Every structure is written in structure tokens, then in C-alpha cells.
């Protein structure tokens, strides 16, 4: 089966600009996660969707980050405006249901200058 797809793979922007990331989960997976991984650290959950509803966004900086999952399939994560500390790898993962094994995409490496 096809894995989790993400685009773009790399993005370089200046601070205060906006950026958007796209994720296409494994077909049939109801749960979708966005994680942020800062260099040298483990991934941290930003937001979790169950179908097209938000389950957990407690660690999402809502003043600048937003995310949506249209029709319970693809998802986009947006940052506006970006800060230097947003430089990280943004990972998308999906699972058939919450608490099941998670499968990760290749990630998007964001550099904010």
C-alpha cells in the first residue's frame, strides 16, 4: 500500500512570511497527526484529527499555526507569520484509529531565515 505522502520536502522562507504543508495519509486511515521535530529532539504533537474533527490541538501555537483536514482525508498545516524558532521538520502520520500503530511520512524540513 502507498505510504503517507507529504509536500514539499524542503522549504526555506524568511521570518514573517507564511508557509503551508500538505499531507495525504494512507487510504482508509481515520486518524491523522502533525508533529514538529526540532533538531536533536523527539517529535512533538501539534494537532490530531479523527476523521475531519480535531481531537487534540493543545500544543498548537494557535496565534500563528492553523490546520485543517478536508473531507477527512488530506490535511494542510499553515504557519503565518513564521518565526525563526519554527525551523524544524514537520512530520505527518496516520493510523487506522487512535491508539493504533502510526505510520509516518518523509517530513517537510522548514528553514526560517
Binding site for another protein (CB under 8 A): 4, 31, 33, 35, 40-45, 48, 55-56, 91, 93, 95, 97-107, 109
Closest separation in Å from C-beta 5 to another protein: 11
Measured CA to CA in angstroms, residue 50 lies from 73, 96, 108 at distances of 10, 10, 22
Q: How far is the CB of 69 from another protein (least distance, A)?
A: 15
Closest distance between another protein and the C-beta of residue 86, in Å? 18
Q: Per the omega criterion (within 30 degrees of 0), is the bond before 34 cis?
A: no
Q: Would you state the cell numbers that stand for residue 37, as one nine-digit string?
A: 521535530
C-beta of 74 vs 81, nearer to another protein:
74
Amino acid at each position: 500500500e502507498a505510504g503517507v505522502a507529504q509536500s514539499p520536502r524542503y522549504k526555506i522562507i524568511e521570518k514573517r512570511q507564511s508557509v503551508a504543508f500538505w499531507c495525504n495519509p494512507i487510504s482508509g486511515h481515520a486518524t491523522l497527526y502533525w508533529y514538529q521535530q526540532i533538531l536533536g529532539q523527539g517529535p512533538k504533537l501539534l494537532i490530531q484529527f479523527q476523521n475531519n474533527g480535531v481531537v487534540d490541538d493543545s500544543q498548537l501555537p494557535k496565534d500563528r499555526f492553523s490546520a485543517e483536514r478536508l473531507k477527512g482525508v488530506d490535511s494542510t498545516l499553515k504557519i503565518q507569520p513564521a518565526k525563526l524558532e519554527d525551523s524544524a521538520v514537520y512530520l505527518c502520520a496516520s493510523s487506522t484509529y487512535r491508539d493504533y500503530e502510526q505510520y509516518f511520512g518523509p517530513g517537510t524540513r522548514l528553514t526560517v531565515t
